[in-house]
Amino acid sequence: MAISQIISLFLLHLLLPLASISLSQSSHQLICEVGTGNGGSIGGTSPLPASLSKLLIKGGTVVNAHRQERADVYVEDGIIVAVKPNIKVGDEVTVLDATGRYVMPGGIDPHTHLDAEFMGTVAVDDFFSGQAAALAGGTTMHIDFVHPVNGSLMSGFEAYEKKASKSCMDYGFHMVIRHWDESVSKEMEIMVKEKGINSFKFFMAYKGTFMVDDAVLLRGMKRCKSLGALAMVHAENGDAVFEGQKRMIERGITGPEGHALSRPPMLEAEATGRAIRLASFVNTPLYVVHVMSIDAMEEIAKARKTGQKVIGEPVVSGLVLDDSKLWDPDFITAAKYVMSPPIRESGHNKALQAALSTGVLQGLRRGCTLFGIQWWNQAKFLSLILSG
């Protein structure tokens, strides 16, 4: 377990009693100061302060994926050495009393966009501010998305290494594929074998910017299979969404409500099903990001029942919200709820919750890419509203 996970384990979750309380400012500061500058996709860690090199977290309820139990946790030099009841230690060990509290590993957010550049602006959160907020909430690692620079995967990777130089927690990278040629194929191999990236994302939406056609998607899936990497898709029918946007504009519907109306669940389901079938044709696993509708979830469920390796990733907003806020008469309020695929009408959220709880969907992303209010003030048009 890496340093930021250890820090969260004994400083954050130790402070989470059975009745939730807030993280103190001093703990906040310590979490970020310990890890600053040494996170990384290569697994870099920071040295622990001397006072924290030997720790016993005593008497808490330890929660792991398989079970929870009353136990002590002994940590030495940033590594969990033992988890069992009644661990005996010497006087040189710092003992933290976790009685009445949960002790659990930090969470991993598999889908983030820190310091992301999109439509002429940049996300509000960079690799420090976004990570500090994540640590305060119990997330101790995340996986961000590298975009190519001038068509080069390597240039994109180097640019994101610079963005991540201010990190205060562990992170990894996925890589976005936006076109196909022999150089992309070769650089994918470098990413996997030398840079620690083994997942590649293909956008089936955002026509004219990120979207790839089925030929590129097929080639990319084949290359992922040959490298033992994972293919990921943003599943919406980009051509149909483009037509839907034109339809909304022709009808004078240009606000946030038009965003959802232009990309209904059927278009998410169509692209999800198409990606699943292409992955089956290639015989490679598939990861479908931000599943937002019953329609898409059912495509995943059907594939999984046949034994196909498909992972569906829901988003917190899709689990707990409905689309009612998109119809708020205040543009800025409504624009804050724009994301792609959009938040759906009531009923989809409960169905997605059930699918997650029963294993039809796996994983969970925070689903938040923050852009400044000043951009929304300038947008005032459904195709210019930034998804966040």
Residues 77 and 138 in one domain: no
H helix runs in the chain, sequence order: 3-7, 25-35, 129-136, 153-163, 182-194, 214-227, 238-250, 256-262, 265-282, 294-305, 316-320, 331-335, 348-357, 373-379
Residues 133 and 61 in one domain: no
Range of the domain at 85: 3-103
Residues 128 and 201 in one domain: yes
Q: Name the more confident of 71 and 45.
A: 71
**CATH assignment of the domain containing 26:** 2.30.40
Residues 62 and 159 in one domain: no
**pLDDT score for 378:** 45
Mean pLDDT of 29-48: 45
Number of structural domains found in the chain: 2
CA distances in angstroms from 43 to 31, 40, 281, listed in the order given: 17, 5, 35
Residues 174 and 196 in one domain: yes
Residues 139 and 72 in one domain: no
Instruction: Give the least confident one: 43-47, 48-52, 194-198, 269-273.
Output: 43-47
Residues 145 and 294 in one domain: yes
**pLDDT score for 280:** 98
Listed residues 103, 119, 151: the one ending a domain = 103
Residues 28 and 167 in one domain: no
* pLDDT single digits (tens) 106-159: 889 999 999 888 667 778 889 999 999 999 888 999 999 999 999 999 999 999
* pLDDT single digits (tens) 304-330: 999 999 999 999 999 999 999 999 999
Residues 163 and 125 in one domain: yes
Residues 152 and 13 in one domain: no
The whole-chain average pLDDT of the chain stands at: 84
**CATH assignment of the domain containing 117:** 3.20.20.140
**pLDDT score for 99:** 95
Listed residues 103, 122, 157: the one ending a domain = 103
**Confidence class for position 35, pLDDT limits 50, 70, 90:** very low
Q: Is the pLDDT of residue 41 over 90?
A: no
Residues 81 and 144 in one domain: no
> 107-112 and 117-118 as β-strands: parallel, antiparallel, unpaired?
unpaired
Mean pLDDT of 333-360: 94
**pLDDT score for 105:** 86
Residue 121 — φ and ψ, nearest 5°?
Answer: -140, 175
Q: Give CA–CA dist 54/94, Å, rounded.
A: 6
Q: Which contacts of 18-26 are long-range, i.e. CB under 8 A and separated by 24 or more positions?
A: 18/100, 18/101, 18/102, 23/136
Listed residues 50, 75, 103: the one ending a domain = 103
**pLDDT score for 370:** 54
Residues 374 and 322 in one domain: yes
